[in-house]
């Protein structure tokens, strides 16, 4: 008997199928093509970018746009030919048609070639240390003592308003510190600090408890996967209790070394300097154990900490170099912006020609203001920088367009529903991007199911004429943080009746916006029974209808009061006291123990024995705190 070869059978089947359906690739598949594990069929991959249109996706898959629209409808998404889709929608639709997707990288292929660092190229670098903790626990004071400068005095309210990065020299080597603001409003800035750091120094006051911002800082550090060194500050105070702080830290899984854990704890005083040198030694020891290294002989990469618009120098960005060496004249890309470095300044404000890994810098020469937290990458020339910048700007524009257009029915419904929500429209302007981002996030968190903060525009720089015109058209309030309106803007604001509020401390903004939102809240209606009246007789009076002869049992009754008609214990009518008389005279109010005649507005079906409950309605202004907690 002839042995059947499996491969021969498969080949025969393939020839038969080819003869039946032809050799062309089917236009689409009902299901994702099944492949053996590890097998990749290059023909079933398409390269896409987020926010491409339905038409563009259809062309890539060689199907009709109508088929893609029909597929989207079957998935519950309403779309048109020119509708832009997010990556989730693109991936789902492509999979339905039998394609896997590869997302095109933001960076142009080949422009930023991947540089692989060998062990021989790596050199030791300074640790990047982020100081975190609760507001007023002494973070900036600690850094101030270390730097022997006066950072705190220059900050509004003694609370750090902007991220500062500083390099200090101590014994064996330099340490780069990032001072993140401690106020709860700057959560986003503090989180960003944790993403660029090697070590977190968590400052906790010895005379205080572990506070919400302390816990938040612990969580940020853990999320970033960086070690924590605890600095128990204010040990010079009589109320200092380091042991109590250590006990509280254990509740958040920070067991100190003294108690058999791995968390380094240093007891310090930022005021007198007690224990500060020991803290720096522990930082260097931790850094030595981590073997922090970087290749200085390559194009530089880093992270943007902040950006602001300087009148004389244009856009100024603060960065920390993570690897490579940056030189004056280098071309770079950061976010959707690009540029060529005209000048670099160190943390002391001195001009420098080059900067190695872990160095904090202030750069001049960017085309615009990047977002705080954007990556900073040096590229080979200006042409490449501009090409990448233009591509990123296009993607950003498409992203903005996508955000403005509802795609699904649920989104359309949500937007219709939003018409019933009262909004407080705001235009935010500030001196640096980081503060604007944090401020917008803080204010939007005040929104509830009833009232909403709507930031219609935010930007860096002085308040301009266009800001005022936008606010006027949108019935918005302008908030300036560390910036002022120019003369023309002030004149137009006065003419148009646009409110401009200027602030230097962020929690004052939050408080004022909170009060404004509370003014939009519907007051709480409280009803109370201020009197009870018994119907003892009925009279029919021409032009007035049925008048009840009553006896006021408790409280009092006033003309115009709201009354409930109660019969056999059941409320049968709610209405107003339309007439009130004592004998033949009109009365404004009748107290308990007296008789009177009462007419109920638009109600004639009265009976002897009915009870009138006189209702007093009180409107109580509501606070936002309960609303925020209820909606969260």
- Report the pLDDT value the prediction gives residue 26, as an integer from 0 to 100: 36
Give the mean model confidence (pLDDT) for residues 189-215: 77
CA distance 441 to 430: 14
Residue corresponding to tokens 């900490």: 305
> 288 is written with which tokens?
């030595």
> Of 125-129, 431-435, 551-555, 599-603, where does mean pLDDT reach its minimum?
431-435
* Secondary structure string (H, E, C) spanning 241-293: CHHHHHHHHHCCCCCEHHHCCCEEEEECCCCCCCCHHHHHHHHHHHHHHHCCE
* Residues above pLDDT 90, as percent of the chain: 32
Euclidean distance between CA atoms 578 and 355, whole angstroms: 84
CB–CB of 438/506 below 8 Å? yes
68-95: average pLDDT: 83
Collapse the DSSP code of 492 into the 3-class scheme (helix H, G, I; strand E, B; otherwise coil) and give the result.
helix
In this predicted structure, the answer to whether residue 538 has a pLDDT above a threshold of 50 is: yes
Q: Note the pLDDT tens digit of each residue in 314-335.
A: 999 999 999 999 999 999 999 8
- Spell out the alpha helix ranges (H) of 364-505: 382-404, 409-417, 433-444, 465-474, 487-496
Q: Give yes or no for residue 9 having a pLDDT over 50.
A: no
Return the pLDDT at 36.
38
Tell me what the mean pLDDT of segment 77-91 comes to: 80
What residues contact residue 242 under an 8 Å CB cut-off, 6+ apart?
206, 232, 235, 265, 267
H helices within 97-241, ranges in order? 139-147, 187-195, 212-224
Q: What was the pLDDT predicted at 479?
A: 93
Is a pLDDT exceeding 60 seen at residue 629?
no
Per-residue confidence (pLDDT) for residue 408, from 0 to 100: 41
Section 115-138 average pLDDT: 83
Range in 76-90, 313-327, 378-392 the model is least confident about:
76-90
CA–CA dist 7, 373 (Å, integer)? 56
Q: What is the pLDDT of residues 245-282, one digit of tens each?
A: 999 999 888 888 888 888 999 999 988 989 999 999 99
**Average pLDDT of 462-475?**
85
Question: Is the confidence at residue 342, as pLDDT, over 60?
Answer: yes
Which pLDDT score, from 0 to 100, does residue 359 have?
A: 92
Strands 301-310 and 314-323, bridge-based pairing: antiparallel
C-alpha distances in Å from residue 189, one per residue of 69, 434, 509: 41, 7, 17
Nearest of 280, 276, 281, 305 to residue 165 by alpha carbon: 305
Residue 622 and residue 521 in contact, taking contact as beta carbons nearer than 8 Å:
yes
Burial class (CB in 10 A: 0-12, 13-18, 19+), 528: exposed
- Per-residue pLDDT at 405: 45
In degrees to the nearest 10, what's the CA dihedral of 308, 314, 320, 324? 160
489 contact partners, CB below 8 Å, separation of at least 6: 462, 463, 464, 465, 467, 468, 500
pLDDT of residue 512: 87
Q: How far apart are CA 190 and CA 71, in angstroms?
A: 43
> How many residues would you count in the chain?
632
**CA–CA dist 335, 319 (Å, integer):** 13
* Residue 111 neighbours by CB under 8 Å, 6+ apart: 379, 380, 384, 387, 388
Identify the pLDDT of residue 327: 95
Residues of the chain with CATH 3.40.50.10050: 420-520
Alpha-carbon distance of 352 to 130, in angstroms, equals: 24
Cite the residue boundaries of each domain of the chain with CATH code 2.40.30.10: 301-401, 524-621
Taking Cα atoms as reference points, which of 542, 419, 527, 427 lies closest to residue 481?
A: 427
Averaged pLDDT for residues 373-390: 88
* CATH 3.40.50.300 location in the chain: 123-294
Q: Stretch 196-213: mean pLDDT, rounded?
A: 87
Q: For residue 181, is pLDDT > 70?
A: no
Q: What percent of the chain has pLDDT over 70?
A: 81
Could you please state the CATH topology (level 3) that the domain comprising 301-401 is classified under.
Answer: Elongation Factor Tu (Ef-tu); domain 3 (2.40.30)
CA-CA distances (angstroms) from residue 16 to 21, 22, 475, 562? 9, 10, 71, 88
| Integer Cα distance of 246 and 202 in angstroms | 12
More confident residue, 13 or 27: 13
Task: Please write the tens of the pLDDT for every residue from 542-601.
Answer: 877 889 999 999 999 999 999 999 999 899 999 999 999 998 888 999 999 999 999 999
CATH topology of domain 123-294: Rossmann fold (3.40.50)
- Is residue 21 very low, low, confident or very high in pLDDT (cuts 50, 70, 90)? very low
Say yes or no to pLDDT of 92 above 50.
Answer: yes
CA atoms within 13 A on the CB side of 106: 17
Question: What CATH architecture does domain 524-621 belong to?
Answer: Beta Barrel (2.40)
Burial environment of residue 495 by CB neighbours within 10 A (0 to 12, 13 to 18, 19 or more): exposed
CA dihedral 549, 552, 553, 559 (to 10 degrees): 120
Band of pLDDT at residue 398, cut at 50, 70 and 90:
low
**What's the helix, strand, coil split of the chain in %, to 5?**
35, 35, 35
| Average pLDDT for the chain | 80
Query: What is the pLDDT averaged over residues 168-184?
Result: 74
263 close to 252: Cβ distance less than 8 angstroms: no
Does residue 191 carry a pLDDT above 80? no
Give the three-state DSSP class for 193: helix
In the CATH scheme, what is the code of domain 420-520?
Answer: 3.40.50.10050
What DSSP character marks residue 97?
T
Q: Does the structure show a pLDDT above 50 at 183?
A: no
Neighbours of 572 (CB within 10 A): 14
Higher pLDDT, 76 or 415: 76
> CA-CA distance, 270 to 250, in Å (whole number)?
24
Structure tokens that stand for 227 in this block? 């070690």
H or E element, residue 166: strand 164-170
Measured at the CA of 514, the angle between CA 510 and CA 515, to 5 degrees, comes to 125
Q: Does the model's pTM come out above 0.85?
A: no
- Predicted confidence (pLDDT) per residue in 472-528, tens digit: 877 889 999 999 998 889 988 888 888 899 998 888 888 888 888 877 777 778 888
The more confidently predicted of residues 21 and 626 is 626
Least confident of 115-119, 345-349, 379-383, 619-623: 115-119
* pLDDT value of position 31: 36
């Amino acid at each position: 008997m002839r042995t059947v070869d499996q491969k021969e059978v498969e080949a025969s089947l393939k020839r038969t199928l080819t003869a039946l359906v032809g050799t062309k690739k089917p236009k689409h598949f009902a299901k994702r093509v099944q492949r053996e594990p590890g097998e990749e069929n290059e023909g079933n991959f398409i390269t896409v970018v987020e926010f491409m249109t339905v038409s563009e996706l259809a062309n890539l898959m060689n199907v009709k746009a109508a088929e893609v629209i029909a597929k989207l409808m079957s998935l519950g998404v309403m779309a048109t030919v020119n509708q832009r889709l997010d990556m989730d929608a693109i991936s789902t639709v492509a999979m339905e048609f039998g394609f896997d997707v590869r997302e095109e990288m933001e960076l142009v292929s080949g422009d930023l070639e991947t540089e692989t660092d060998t062990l021989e190229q790596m050199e030791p670098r300074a640790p990047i240390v982020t100081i975190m903790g609760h507001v007023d626990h002494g973070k900036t004071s600690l850094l101030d003592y270390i730097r022997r400068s006066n950072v705190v005095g220059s900050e509004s309210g003694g609370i750090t308003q902007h991220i500062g990065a500083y390099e200090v020299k101590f014994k064996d080597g330099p340490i780069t510190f990032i001072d993140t603001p401690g106020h709860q409003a700057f959560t986003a800035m503090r989180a960003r600090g944790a993403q660029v750091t090697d070590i977190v120094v968590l400052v906790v006051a010895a005379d205080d408890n572990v506070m919400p911002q302390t816990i938040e800082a612990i969580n940020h550090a853990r999320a970033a996967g960086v070690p924590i060194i605890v600095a128990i500050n204010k040990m010079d105070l009589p109320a200092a209790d380091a042991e109590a702080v250590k006990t509280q830290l254990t509740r958040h899984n920070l067991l100190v070394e003294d108690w058999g854990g791995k968390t380094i704890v240093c007891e310090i005083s930022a005021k007198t300097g007690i224990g500060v040198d020991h803290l720096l030694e522990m930082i260097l020891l931790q850094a030595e154990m981590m073997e922090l290294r970087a290749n200085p002989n390559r194009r530089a990469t880093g992270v943007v900490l902040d950006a602001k618009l300087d009148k004389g120098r244009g856009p100024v960005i603060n960065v920390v170099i993570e690897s490579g060496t940056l030189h004056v004249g280098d071309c770079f890309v950061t976010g959707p912006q690009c540029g060529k470095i005209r000048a670099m300044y160190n943390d002391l404000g001195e001009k420098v020609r080059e900067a190695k890994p872990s160095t904090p810098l202030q750069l001049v020469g960017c085309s615009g203001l990047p977002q705080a937290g954007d990556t900073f990458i040096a590229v080979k020339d200006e042409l490449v920088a501009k090409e990448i910048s233009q591509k990123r700007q296009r993607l950003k524009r498409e992203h903005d367009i996508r955000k403005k257009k509802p795609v699904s029915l649920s989104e359309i419904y949500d937007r219709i529903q939003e018409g019933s929500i009262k909004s407080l429209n705001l235009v935010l302007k500030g001196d640096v991007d980081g503060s604007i981002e944090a401020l917008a996030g803080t204010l939007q968190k005040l929104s509830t199911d009833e009232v909403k903060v709507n930031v219609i525009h935010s930007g860096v720089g002085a308040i301009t004429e266009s800001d005022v015109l936008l606010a006027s058209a949108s019935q918005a309030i302008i908030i300036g943080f560390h910036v002022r309106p120019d003369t023309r803007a002030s004149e137009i604001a006065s003419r148009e009746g646009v409110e401009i509020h200027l602030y230097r401390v962020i929690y004052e903004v939050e408080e004022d916006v909170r009060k404004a939102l509370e003014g939009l809240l519907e007051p709480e209606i409280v009803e109370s029974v201020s009197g009870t009246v018994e119907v003892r007789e009925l009279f029919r009076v021409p032009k007035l209808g049925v008048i009840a002869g009553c006896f006021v049992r408790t409280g009092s009754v006033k003309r115009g009061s709201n009354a409930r008609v109660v019969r056999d214990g059941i409320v049968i009518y709610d209405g107003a006291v339309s007439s009130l008389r004592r004998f033949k005279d009109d009365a404004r109010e009748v107290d308990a123990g007296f008789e009177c005649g009462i007419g109920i507005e638009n109600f004639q079906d009265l009976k002897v024995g009915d009870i009138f409950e006189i209702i007093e309605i009180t409107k109580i202004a509501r606070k936002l705190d309960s609303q925020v907690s209820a909606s969260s």
